[in-house]
Amino acid sequence: MSCGVVVADDQALVRAGFCRLIDSEADMHVLGEAGNGEDAVRIVRATKPDVALLDIRMPVMDGIEATRQIVATTSTRVVILTLFDLDDYVFAALQAGASGFLLKDAPTDQMLSAIRVAAAGDALIAPSVTRRLLDEFAQLGGRSRTVPGVADLTGRERQVLVHLAGGLSNAEIAAAMFLGEATVKTHVGRVLAKLGVRDRVQAVVAAYESGLVRPGDGAEPGRAG
């Protein structure tokens, strides 16, 4: 089954390049393109793509607000595109519900892989910058708050969430906790359900926002297992 994608970027040449790349793949196709966030939301609602690639800085409506509206009203997963790995707006986009972000100069295979991963319901963030991004958030104004669902987690589910924030895959969590991988997958599903989030990235955001995980804890996050 082919993966439908909407591409939104205010630079026409960049947008055209992404569209050509996506349409060159046998398992994905472009359903629409937009030059601003408002048009992106409209096109996503009309075409119902699996994934929306959104530039974080766009006129009329930026990628953050576009992400918020798309996530609130569709099942489309959003991958944010940014020029800078520590863009001030990236964490806000993750808070708004994005499933991850990629640098615009990422290798072609990484870009295509990101679309497939997001379409499959997994989540991704550029691994090399995730820890710095979340540390930056915590140091520059991130304050712990009550996050719905965190108090409902069992002790084991909290452990799983901490490992998720450390970037461990399901297999690695299983090894660390001496559990079967299928059991870990079940725990991860329960964590997502109790937190009311769509994917692992949103679970990690919740872990940081709640204060359950703090800068310097665990390993570098970024891999989706």
Task: Tell me the per-residue pLDDT of 11-25, one tens digit each, with 9 for 90 and over.
Answer: 999 999 999 999 999
User: Does the CA dihedral 197-203-209-212 come out positive or negative?
Assistant: positive
How far is Cα 111 from Cα 132, in angstroms, rounded to an integer?
21
pLDDT of 190-215, one tens digit each? 999 999 887 787 788 788 778 787 65
Inter-residue contact 118 to 224 (CB < 8 Å): no
Residue percentage of the chain with pLDDT more than 70 = 82
Long-range Cβ pairs for the range 109-113 (8 Å, 24+): 111/18, 111/21, 112/21, 112/22, 112/25, 112/28
pLDDT of residue 127: 46
Are 124 and 98 in contact by the 8 Å Cβ rule? The answer is no
Domains detected in the chain:
3-124 (3.40.50.2300), 138-210 (1.10.10.10)
Residues 6+ apart with CB under 8 A from 159: 177
The pLDDT tens digits for 82-117 are: 886 555 677 788 878 888 888 888 889 888 988 988
Is residue 207 within 8 A of residue 218, CB to CB? The reply is no
Q: 198, 201, 173: which is closest to 185 by C-alpha?
A: 173
Q: Quick check: 220 pLDDT over 50?
A: no
Distance CA 216, CA 165 (A): 11
User: What's the pTM?
Assistant: 0.71
